[in-house]
Structure 1
Amino acid sequence: MVDDKLRTPGAVRDAERWTAHNYHPLPVVISSAEGAWLTDVDGRRYLDCLAGYSALNFGHRHPQLIAAAHAQLDRLTLTSRAFIHDQFADFCRELAELCGKDLVLPMNTGAEAVETGIKVARKWGYQVKGVPAGQANIVVAEGNFHGRTTTIVSFSTDEDARADFGPYTPGFTVVPYGDLAALTAAIDENTVAVLLEPIQGEQGVVVPPEGYLPGIRQLCTERDVLFIADEIQSGLGRTGATFACDHEGVVPDMYLLGKALGGGIVPVSAVAANADVLGVLKPGQHGSTFGGNPLACAVAIEVVRLLATGEFQRRSAELGERLRAGLEGLLGKGLVGVRVRGLWAGLDIDPALMSGREACERLAARGVLAKDTHGSTIRLAPPLVITEEEIDLAVAKLAEVLAG
């Protein structure tokens, strides 16, 4: 427990008093941040190994991104899509080029990107594939996390996210993640899309078997089905490549992007696809008041330009190997499973030692912030600006926690 004279306990109590309890945060109250480091209201510093679930891939307050936001704040922040502003075309063009696609549809949150992808896939199915009205279905994976809207939780297998929010939206078939045979069997003549995460982040950074993503790509091509990759957490440099799909040379029909696209400053999401897919939408059929607003576009343009250099993808790949080596050295010393792809790691702690929540609380007490997922599993996703020394520090603090 911290000293009651400090500000943290009171701030925690106030948050619990006035906030709906849809989250169970660690009792840390942050007041400032820079790079990979956070400072709380009492002046204690923490190494950020969560990075806002990948929303902070470029660290806190990256100078290039902050400068873009400041400059845009002095000029124009919102017009709605009723008009065109001077940042819009550059954002859409540069993101489309990064993705290798024809078109971009900007939204705000990751869940909005997923909802957009679902709507587009259904409309494509009816107008292009010729699926009978009201019969479109989408194949998804067990253990998925695509957001928490009513449609999305309808095909979640996480009871915390799903229970008591029915009636549920039909039109989804759930198959085991990583099982290509099950996915193949689930596709029928009314299937319009396969929607999945190339790496399941919320499930504990679960990497599918080699050949799974290429198999899906081939299957979708053969069966005239859209392959939709939810790269909201895994994309934009997190895994050591621009997209997690890149590791197996796979190009989906549609990318769903978010989190890091806003540079940790504003919520920005987007759907990227070719004109034969996104072109099914016509004016009035989908939209957002804030989607593609000038401030969001100004920041996101700089995010895309940072990624276009390749620097952050290389950092993630190289530093990820250092993280992997350190974590694998803890196998048999409290860890029973380690999964790493770039600067993204899922760690299974021996459940006889402690829960994931308890491990994160003990890490926080030692100045490292991480997040548990389920049971005794935690994940690490530090900003891509982290240094070798800071990675070693995080691994050392985890070793202390596991040693008791």
Structure 2
Amino acid sequence: MNNAQLNDLKQRYVANGAASPATQFADRAENALVWDADGNRIIDFAGGIGVLNIGHRHPKVVQAVKDQLDRVMHTCQTVMPYEGYVKLAEKLSQITPVRGHAKVMLANSGAEALENAVKVARAATGKNNVICFDGGYHGRTFMTMAMNGKVAPYATDFGTMPGNVFRAPYPVPYHGVSEDEALRGLKMALKTDANPKDTAAIVLEPVLGEGGFYQAPASFLKAIREICDEHGMLMIVDEVQSGFGRTGKMFAIEHSGVEPDIITMAKSMADGMPISAVVGTDKHMDASGGNSLGGTYTGSPVSCAAALAVLEVFEEEHILDKSQALGDKLAKRFAQWQQDFDCVDNARNLGAMAAVDLVSDKANHTPDADLAGAVCKKAREKGLILLSCGLYGNTIRFLMPVTIEDEVLEEGLAIVEESLKELVGSKSAATA
């Protein structure tokens, strides 16, 4: 079927809330390229929203999935376990920087991982409250919608959210929130809303994902660690988008040297196969009773096989080094854009977790969400998938596979530049 036929089916049968606004349908893909149902070649700078750090259909992962399909597809690991689950748990416990000996539970999605992390924290501490941060994003289930630091579009139409979730400022100096102010806000929340004796955990992303790719300073993360220790609360770090090599380290928290109690992960963990994990200190992970964590499909044999293959690829192909190298290339290009375009500001990256803001006034950091949307639309018309994000909707984020070929990267970045020039012009053109 072609794009037009598939769009007709989408409009007739897919719920509006679940339907993609895109009119092109993926037919096949390889590394950083996708071909749609009409045969058009498209460069992918979105990577399934950070799911494809080692690219579409990495051969080693594809082979691991095929091999597993020839053996076992499903038993439900709580009914009859299998090697992949325990081997993946072993590997994750070895590479995840939590305090002490780590234990693991596997789930299906980032939201499920966060839900279960909260369950573990409540069981381990005997407390109920959770503190999250402005701009944070943790999922689309009811608990995680309550935890998100942004209402639209995730919670707009769905009524009352679960209680016992409180919020504090996230440090984004560019938007007027200093680290000191963020810490004061957190401490005030502990005084006015979330009494420490009733608070199980503080949950945060070390680099905001949907919130705009802003990095928390190491000193801020260390302060949260100290606050959690002081009050007997758990520190939960959400690495769903920032984990598995996006920032030049396996997990973004490693840049700070801080060891949390629990880390959640998903997205690029299995190169497109659905899986997530909660990895935490053994005494916390063992706090709840038997059969209290899990689900029918959690840690499926096929997804475990894919995740184990991903970990092999990381070692064999030096993916962390490639992530850092890609980040360096993007940083250099972003610096040039800031000189060439009045609308491009606040370029930033941690490894290959990179973004720029589009503004109407650099002096006042005035967000221009309309321009960000227009650039993404224009880029798509030129054959490039590009995503915006951020609390103000004006951030352009770059989530291409870290394995992207240099020539494909250059082609994609040139499309971004062309789109900006067509929409707003450039300084060089204005002075010519």
* TM-score of the pair, normalised by structure 2: 0.86
Stretch of structure 1 that moved more, 209-218 or 70-79: 209-218
2:13 aligned partner: 18
Amino acid at match of 1:281: S
Stretch of structure 1 that moved more, 389-398 or 76-85: 389-398
Q: 1:37·1:48 contact (CA, 8 Å) conserved in 2? A: yes
The alpha carbon displacement at 1:363 in A equals 0.6
In 2, the alpha carbon distance for the partners of 1:30 and 1:231 equals 27
In 2, the alpha carbon distance for the partners of 1:194 and 1:353 equals 30
Amino acid at match of 2:166: T
In 2, the alpha carbon distance for the partners of 1:170 and 1:365 equals 43
Amino acid at match of 1:402: L
The alpha carbon displacement at 1:323 in A equals 0.7
Q: 2:371 aligns with which of 355, 362, 368?
A: 355
1:91/1:375 CA distance change after superposition, 3 Å: closer
1:278/1:297 CA distance change after superposition, 3 Å: same
1:83 aligned partner: 80
Amino acid at match of 2:119: K
In 2, the alpha carbon distance for the partners of 1:162 and 1:403 equals 36
The alpha carbon displacement at 1:26 in A equals 2.5
1:190 aligned partner: 198
SS at match of 1:53: helix
Amino acid at match of 1:355: L
**Percent identity of paired positions between Structure 1 and Structure 2:** 30
Name stretches of at least 5 consecutive residues in structure 2 with no aligned partner. Answer: 172-181, 191-195, 361-367, 423-432
1:3 aligned partner: none
Q: 1:231·1:244 contact (CA, 8 Å) conserved in 2? A: yes
> Hey, which bits of structure 1, 4+ residues long, moved more than 4 A?
351-354
Amino acid at match of 1:299: A
Stretch of structure 1 that moved more, 105-114 or 157-166: 157-166
2:124 aligned partner: 124
2:383 aligned partner: 367
In 2, the alpha carbon distance for the partners of 1:248 and 1:259 equals 22
Q: 1:316·1:342 contact (CA, 8 Å) conserved in 2? A: yes
The alpha carbon displacement at 1:24 in A equals 4.1
Alignment of 1:277-296 (within 5 A): 277-296=284-303
2:425 aligned partner: none
Amino acid at match of 2:167: V
2:176 aligned partner: none
Amino acid at match of 1:62: H
1:399 aligned partner: 417
The alpha carbon displacement at 1:354 in A equals 4.5
Amino acid at match of 2:189: A
Alignment of 1:145-184 (within 5 A): 145-160=137-152, 161-178=154-171, 179-184=182-187
Q: 1:142·1:175 contact (CA, 8 Å) conserved in 2? A: yes
Q: 2:345·2:359 contact (CA, 8 Å) conserved in 1? A: yes
Amino acid at match of 1:151: M
Name stretches of at least 5 consecutive residues in structure 1 with no aligned partner. Answer: 1-5
The alpha carbon displacement at 1:346 in A equals 2.3
1:120/1:308 CA distance change after superposition, 3 Å: farther
In 2, the alpha carbon distance for the partners of 1:328 and 1:152 equals 36
Amino acid at match of 1:219: I
Q: 2:204·2:238 contact (CA, 8 Å) conserved in 1? A: yes
Query: Does residue 95 of structure 1 match 2:92?
Result: yes
Deviations along 1:46-85, one digit per CA (max 9) or x if unpaired, are 1110101111111011011001000000110111121121
Indicate the RMSD between aligned Cα atoms, in angstroms: 1.9
Q: 1:338 aligns with which of 328, 334, 347?
A: 347
1:273/1:87 CA distance change after superposition, 3 Å: same
SS at match of 1:234: coil
